[in-house]
Amino acid sequence: MRMRLQHLSRAALLALGLAASSLALAQNAICYNCPTEWADWGSQLKAIKAKTGITVPPDNKNSGQSLAQLVAEKASPVADVTYLGVTFAIQAQKEGVVSAYKPAAWNDIPDGLKDPQGQWFTIHSGTLGFMVNVDALKGKPVPQSWADLLKPDYKGLIGYLDPASAFVGYVGAVAINQARGGTLDNFGPAIDYFKALQKNEPIVPKQTSYARVLSGEIAILLDYDFNAYRAKYKDQANVQFVIPTEGTLVVPYVMSLVAKAPHADNGRKVLDFVLSDEGQALWANAYLRPVRAGAMSKEVQARFLPASEYARAKTIDYAKMATVQKGFSERYLKEAQ
């Protein structure tokens, strides 16, 4: 009898343990491409946990890697939500790996910055330029133009994320191409530029390289304004953000609910939070332009470069940019890597 009671007791404890672990799992949501060092996702993930009780583990994929994983797992998805550069989101929609969801602040997102059915929607945007660690230049002038980066003075000092894989890398390629007379139907100027830039022995990582700029390993990184301002104002680094004189791009970053997400309800709560007043204010405080413009305080706005500088940052046909991305990536890998 005693042994039987012990056996039942162990079984009950095991059942309770399984129930607890299931409950813990149920309070999770998996996000692809939510790295703590990028766009201050670290603060956002902590706030999601504090507000909703949902744990979202950090994930260091880039947009291209996330899309490839979503496609590979289409029959049995692992992720619940994903964060992507807009062109990858349009591709994800075509691949059928994202699902329609209109979050709580849906009506505050301007048309053109969301899929009408809710398969993707902008949460914030960034402007591409040069994130420059001034100390790492060791007295060389801060470059002001795309042309400047081709000068031999900057040999070994330049970095950009892989344009064939990372969204920010592709944005850089499109920005260079537009600035040097190309179009979305003609990437010749960008390919020629990357070929010429090889003489300066650039560093070309696949993932976010914020820490490598702060350490001085990379002195000049093609990156967004929000990372440069974060380095300058939060990490107190001697970093400048430069909008190239020939022009650049402003681009939206978006989120989606994954099709057949295993924890879809938790995923929806995460998407609601990042567009809430609190979530949007967190993006603004990390120097991203929140899609709900009222979330940015005047104090934060004052830390950005003047509007006259931002006038050189243009939008583009993002759907067309998505359509031609694969062709550009193949050409880049063949001709300019």
What pLDDT shows up at residue 4?
A: 46
Instruction: List, in order, residues 6 or more apart from 96 with CB less than 8 Å away.
Output: 74, 259
What pLDDT shows up at residue 10?
A: 47
Tell whether the model's pLDDT for residue 12 goes beyond 90. Answer: no
As a whole number, mean pLDDT of residues 286-294 equals 91
* Whether the Cβ atoms of residue 251 and residue 126 lie closer than 8 Å to each other: yes
Write out pLDDT tens, residues 18-47.
333 333 445 799 999 999 988 889 999 999
CA distance 254 to 83: 6
Q: C-alpha angle 68/70/75, rounded to 5°? A: 125
As a whole number, mean pLDDT of residues 290-316 equals 92
Write out pLDDT tens, residues 109-148.
988 899 999 999 999 999 999 999 999 999 999 999 999 9
**Helix/strand/coil percent split, the chain, to 5:** 45, 15, 35
Write out pLDDT tens, residues 201-255.
999 988 778 999 999 999 999 999 999 999 999 999 999 999 999 999 999 999 9
Write out pLDDT tens, residues 82-95.
999 999 999 999 99
* Whether the Cβ atoms of residue 271 and residue 105 lie closer than 8 Å to each other: no
Amino acid letter, residue 44 = Q
- Going by C-alpha positions, the residue among 139, 158, 307, 274 that lies closest to residue 221 is 158
* Whether the Cβ atoms of residue 29 and residue 83 lie closer than 8 Å to each other: no
What pLDDT shows up at residue 26?
A: 56
What pLDDT shows up at residue 16?
A: 37
User: Percentage of the chain with pLDDT > 70?
Assistant: 92
β partners of residue 227: none
Least confident of 73-82, 85-94, 156-165, 293-302: 293-302
Predicted confidence band of residue 15 (pLDDT cuts 50, 70, 90): very low
E strand spans, 179-298: 220-224, 239-242, 248-258, 289-290
What pLDDT shows up at residue 79?
A: 98
CA distance 337 to 194: 8
- Going by C-alpha positions, the residue among 88, 84, 90 that lies closest to residue 119 is 90
What pLDDT shows up at residue 101?
A: 98
* Whether the Cβ atoms of residue 273 and residue 51 lie closer than 8 Å to each other: yes
pTM of the model: 0.79
Tell me how crowded residue 184 is: count the other CB atoms within 10 A of its CB: 16
Predicted confidence band of residue 104 (pLDDT cuts 50, 70, 90): very high
CA-only gyration radius of the chain, Å:
22
Amino acid letter, residue 169 = G
Average pLDDT, the chain: 91
Tell whether the model's pLDDT for residue 51 goes beyond 70. Answer: yes
β partners of residue 31: 81
Least confident of 2-11, 63-72, 241-250: 2-11
Predicted confidence band of residue 200 (pLDDT cuts 50, 70, 90): very high
What pLDDT shows up at residue 207?
A: 79
